[in-house]
Structure 1
Amino acid sequence: MKDPNQKRPGYKKTTAGWIPIEWECIRLGSVFTNRKKKGSKGLPVLSVTMDRGVILRSAIERKMATAVPSDESLLVEPGDLAYNMMRMWQGAVGVCSTSGVISPAYVVCRPLKTRADAWYMYHLFKSHPGRHWLTSYSYGIHEDRLRLYYDDFALVPIPLPPLFEQRKIAAILSSWDAAISQTRDLIEAAKRRKRALMQQLLSGNVRLPGFGDGGRDAGRKTHGTTGGRLPEGWRRLHLHEMARLEYGRDWASVADPAGAFPVYGTGGIIGRASEPLAHGPTLIIGRKGSIAQPQMVESSFWAVDTTFYLVPQVAFSVGWLHALLCLSGLGHLSEGSGVPSLSRNTLDSVRLPTPPLPEQRAIAAVLSTADDEIRALEAKTAALERQKKGLMQKLLTGEVRVTQDARHRTHAPWVVRLASHPTKETPP
């Protein structure tokens, strides 16, 4: 692909590509030192993650291996960069914000403060050009075995702007990171609100206006899908009283990449079919493998032979039933000792607290509105991520420049001004 800066006035050709003439092309070893100082007891244990940078090891949800002995761990201090030598080519790097200890499986580097800004380097290493340069100096039998030791890291050539420009580029990109992080927090909060709504509305503990007393009915609280008293007018029905479970079928004979109908497996859409097996709206439930969460399908579809699909026998709200089964979960019904599996008899015997159809539809509408809020926030996050990716490409290669604005220097030393080649993106 042609370098966008190629032969542009004010740019020069270097090992790292075409860069502004004010920038240098340097090797990382000239602006980093490798820190190997041992840690000490009492300091927090840190880890390097792919998407969250350097964080407390205790914040990682997955179970970690045994603790690293303090006499083997490495000391990290604020401003240090730490990276996973086996995953640096994928962007497993972070800036330390607190003192701590880290596994010797990681590499700890300290940027020279007069030459390199830690956060600029972090964004560079996370960018597509940065990962390309780092991958070029990583070694291994195949991709999953690539390692980047410090001696090779030190040889990687990169473009280096003046220090003030590094800091301003880092500030711009960090503003997008902050906006993305904030939006993700809003998504998690919206998901928690939706789950709380599900727990209250699907049990009958809280009624919507127009149903019951429209508020809490303290004498009729329920507890999940079994036991507990139900509000007046609700019944506890078996799944087979509402719908018939049908087996999915092998789809080899109808497979067609240009087919009009989606093919559903236990984890979602896996292909297209030339003809449908059944019609929505309905639910697809995993029979083997991913069984915990049912899938709601609005139109015609094909379901593979590791799934069930529902054929309604009475009128009910598919959205309500989907929410109820998602809330209760089906994983605990698994009958497989290895691969999770469900039988038709087990599913048919599930008892569900069932309100009248109008209330089912009202509950489904409220939860659908909550889903709309979550989808809107997810779309906003995706848009911010696309904007940041475009800015990284332009700012970190010098295609778009930032300059120090002397007019505002007394008020804000690092006022950001995109120069020469402005883009549509502006910091959030």
Structure 2
Amino acid sequence: MKNKTSAERSRSISEGWVETTLGKVIKIIGGGTPKTSVPEYWNGEIPWLSVVDFNDDNRWVSSTEKTITSLGLEKSSTKLLNKGDIIISARGTVGAMAQLKREMTFNQSCYGIRNIENLSEIDFIFYLLKFSLKQINQNTYGAVFDTITTKTFDYININLPPRPEQKAIANVLTAFDDKIENLRAQNDTLEQTAQTIFNEWFGKYQLEDELPEGWRVGKLSDLLDIKYGKDHKHLQDGDYPLYGSGGIMRYVEKPLYKKESILIPRKGTLTNLFYLNQPFWSVDTMFYSKIKNPIQGRFIYLFLKSIDLSAMNVGSAVPSLTTNVLNQIPLIIPENNIMNEFNNIISSFYTKINFNISQIQSLSKTRDTLLSKLMSGELRVKL
């Protein structure tokens, strides 16, 4: 790869690149929702996507919170997307996107995106969409919810390289995403191992049991101060990770909190928790927290992962948790020596996890820098 001057860049666009619009190089597919009042349409073998399943920085989506039956697919307006197709949210949280690891259906708040054979490559289209998200978000409408329509893509001007160059560009960027995916898989394994150790040490005790000397039953509020996250629309891009229910959404100019913290979902998917030991921003659909005694942080986090927070839902249309509900959660608190010993064992796992997280952030920033340069033609891939 080599850098080009502005003049060279202009010539390179005319040498095989085509000026067009995004809408002309993709197929747009609409989704739908089977009637929720018909049980026979739900809990089948077919994954059914909504934005909660892919609202993060992961390239791939392989599973969904909800599934439908073949009858639900037949009797509704939802469509079956192919493996490799792209899903993008079109209403509310506009621009969340991922590629499908398998065939999936999806709701009407999203669009399925497919390449046009002999014109565009699907992996390139994924990165082209990422590159075009700012333009897409500038072409939303709606009084209550930001919304994009099929016409939005016709307003997004692009420069389309020949298909061999599309493949080469996608391969460069995919190499970064593959490394990121491997690091995330390592972290998942480390998290599972830490959870197993927690269960072996503390899972055998019940609240009503006679506890070892020095142990006691308390409430979550004894160990944790839970605070509300904040809206991030006013923040410029920067170096600090901004977390939502799916993980890192973007990087912003300043942190909301600089100390170790446990992030707990407040609305939507109530299962994703995060333990952070770096400055961060948390969106308003997440709680962040002040850990009263740092030695107890990992213990609290693994305890919360061991219980079913979704069973504590107090919402109606949207699943929700409140500080009052969380503060009152009962738990067994071991005596300090046991807590210290447990923390010493678990810390090595999280040292590796944190190192991997820093690697992921570095790779993500480099990928995004390359994305801009490759899509604009400032940097060309040598074929």
> Normalized against structure 1, the TM-score is what?
0.55
Deviation at residue 374 of structure 1 after TM alignment: 1.7
- The equivalent residue for 2:215 is 236
SS at match of 1:9: helix
Q: CA deviation at 1:194?
A: 1.5
Q: Tell me, in whole angstroms, the C-alpha distance in 2 between the residues paired with 1:296 and 1:398.
A: 37
- Secondary structure of 2:365's counterpart equals helix
Gaps of 5+ in 2: 33-40, 227-254, 265-272, 278-288, 316-320
Number of the residue aligned with 1:140: 141
Residue 227 (structure 2) pairs with residue 227 (structure 1): no
| Equivalence for 2:373 | 394
Kept after mapping to 1: 8 A contact 2:187/2:353: yes
SS at match of 1:74: coil
For 1:10, the equivalent position in structure 2 comes to 8
Tell me how far 1:133 sits from its aligned partner. Answer: 2.9
2:64 maps to which of 60, 77, 91? 60
* Separation in 1, partners of 2:110, 2:7: 42
Partner of 1:92: 97
**8 Å contact from structure 1 (residues 296, 322) kept in 2:** no
Q: Distance in 2 between matches of 1:86 and 1:184?
A: 28
Cα distance, 1:158 vs. partner? 0.5
1:79 deviation in Å?
A: 5.5
Shift of 1:44: 3.1
Which residue number in structure 2 is paired with residue 120 of structure 1? 124
Letter in 2 for 1:397: S
- Give distance in 2, aligned partners of 1:373 and 1:353: 26
> SS state of the match for residue 44, structure 1?
strand
1:354 to 328, 335, 344: 335
Q: CA deviation at 1:372?
A: 1.4
Count how many residue pairs are aligned between Structure 1 and Structure 2: 306
Alpha-carbon shift at residue 19 of structure 1 (Å):
4.2
What is the CA deviation profile of residues 64-105 of structure 1, one whole-angstrom value per residue up to 9, with x for unaligned ones? Answer: 9x95653522343455444333369524354x5555544455
In 2 relative to 1, CA 34–192 (structure 1 residues): closer, same or farther, beyond 3 Å? Answer: closer
2: distance between equivalents of 1:148 and 1:139? 8
Matching residue of 2:49? 47
Aligned position for 2:24 = 30
Quote the offset at 1:179 in angstroms: 1.2
Structure 1 residue 371: Cα displacement: 2.3
Q: Alpha-carbon deviation of 1:119?
A: 0.9
Amino acid at match of 1:148: T
Matched residue SS, 1:145: coil
2:382 matched residue in structure 1: 403
Give the Cα–Cα distance (whole angstroms) in 2 for the partners of residues 371 and 153 of structure 1.
Answer: 42
- Counterpart CA distance in 1 for 2:343 and 2:45 is 50
In structure 1, give the amino acid aligned to 2:133. Answer: R
Match of 1:126, as an amino acid?
Answer: K
Measure the CA separation in 2 of the matches of 1:32 and 1:387.
27
Q: Percent identity?
A: 14
Aligned CA distance change for structure 1 residues 62 and 98 (closer, same or farther; 3 Å): closer
Normalising by the residue count of structure 2, what TM-score does the alignment of the two structures yield? 0.60
Task: Tell me the distance in 1 between the aligned counterparts of 2:331 and 2:61.
Answer: 43
2:360 aligns with 381
| Residue of structure 1 equivalent to 2:154 | 154
Q: Deviations over 1:182-240 (max 9, x none)?
A: 1111112111211222233457xxxxxxxxxxxxxxxxxx425552674xxx5434669
Question: SS of 1:12's equivalent?
Answer: helix
CA contact 1:319–1:364 (8 Å) conserved in 2: no
Given candidates 118, 121, 131, the residue that maps to 2:133 is 131
Q: Distance in 2 between matches of 1:8 and 1:309?
A: 52
Distance 1:340 1:154, change over 3 A: closer
Partner residue of 2:233?
none
After TM superposition, give the deviation of residue 401 of structure 1 in Å: 0.9
Cα distance in 2 for residues equivalent to 1:364 and 1:121: 45
Summarize the Cα distance change of 1:156–1:237 in structure 2 as closer, same or farther, 3 Å threshold: closer
Between Structure 1 and Structure 2, whose CA radius of gyration is higher? 1
**Matched residue, 2:242:** none
1:370 offset after TM fit, Å? 2.4
Aligned counterparts of 2:202 and 2:290: Cα–Cα separation in 1: 23
Counterpart-to-counterpart distance in 2, 1:343 and 1:143:
30
Q: How does 1:261-280 map to 2 (within 5 A)?
A: none
Does 1 or 2 have the higher relative contact order (CA < 8 Å, sep 6+)? Answer: 2
The corresponding residue for 2:343 is 364
Amino acid at match of 2:97: A
**Pairs within 5 Å for 1:209-224:** 222-224=204-206
Amino acid in structure 1 at the alignment position of 2:335 = T
- CA shift at 1:325, angstroms? 4.6
1:329-350 deviation per Cα after TM superposition (whole angstroms, max 9, x unaligned): 5999x9x999443899x89x97
- Greater share of residues in helix: 2
Match of 1:76 among 67, 71, 81: 81
Give distance in 2, aligned partners of 1:169 and 1:141: 35
How far apart, in 2, do the equivalents of 1:168 and 1:103 lie?
Answer: 33
Contact 1:73 1:101 in 2 (8 A): yes
